[in-house]
Amino acid sequence: MADVRKLVWPVLRLVLLGMFLGSGSPMFGQIRQTEPGRENLLTAPAPKKALPPTVSFQPQKYLALDKPGRMKRIRFFVGNEITFRLKGDPVTYHDVIAAVDDSSFTIFGTKVPLREVDRIVVRNQGWFLNQGAALLPLAGGIYFLADNLNPVLSGDGGFAIHRGSVVVGAGLVGAGLILRIFQVRQHKMNKRKQLRVLETF
């Protein structure tokens, strides 16, 4: 009986081991098996990220009036107004700049070479200067009329010109005219004042 047990136990162990391996093989196979399409996703290269759109800025040509003083440079871009005179021409031209090339600018559909420009006329943009030039003459006229017409309107007398009203009114008008002189500056082209073409970056 003992001999039979000795023979049965090895056989039983082999059977159990075979059953275990036989039933375990599909499990191991299932663990190793990937989902449909999973292998392609893992091995396929990652999609490239879309790059943000690039914005390219083209250099823009503009006119630069270099001059001495507190404001060293006055710029005129395409679309700005410009007032100037040409050499040997008494006419003052004023128009919007349509284009700027390497050595000229275009107005009225005509190219104007920089070498032909005699002077640039620039209007001062100071608030006090512009307001004074416009309002002081008007204030002088109103003061003169009010001071001399007041006796007529109030019935105290006829129309009479008073010396004081003339002095004050004339002073206000004169101050406004003087401010108008400084309201416009003419820059004649020479070694110290030059008109050039530059580019923005």
Place 9 in a pLDDT band, splitting at 50, 70 and 90.
Answer: low
> Based on the domain organization, do 193 and 100 belong to the same domain?
yes
Segment 73-95 mean pLDDT: 94
Total domains, the chain: 2
Pick the most confident of 16-20, 151-155, 187-191.
Answer: 187-191
Place 114 in a pLDDT band, splitting at 50, 70 and 90.
Answer: very high
Looking at residue 165, its pLDDT comes to 84
Q: What is the domain extent for residue 155? A: 127-184
Segment 58-64 mean pLDDT: 90
Place 71 in a pLDDT band, splitting at 50, 70 and 90.
Answer: confident
- Residue 131: pLDDT above 90? no
Question: What is the maximum span of the chain, computed from C-alpha positions, in angstroms?
Answer: 163
Q: Is the pTM of this model over 0.75?
A: no
- Residue 31: pLDDT above 60? no
The dihedrals phi and psi of 27, each to the nearest 5 degrees, come to -65, -45
> Based on the domain organization, do 90 and 180 belong to the same domain?
no
Burial of 83 by CB count in 10 Å (0-12 exposed, 13-18 middle, 19+ buried)? middle
> Based on the domain organization, do 144 and 176 belong to the same domain?
yes
For residues 117 and 87, give the distance between their C-alpha atoms in angstroms, rounded to a whole number: 6
Segment 153-182 mean pLDDT: 82
For residues 117 and 123, give the distance between their C-alpha atoms in angstroms, rounded to a whole number: 17
Higher pLDDT, 182 or 201: 182
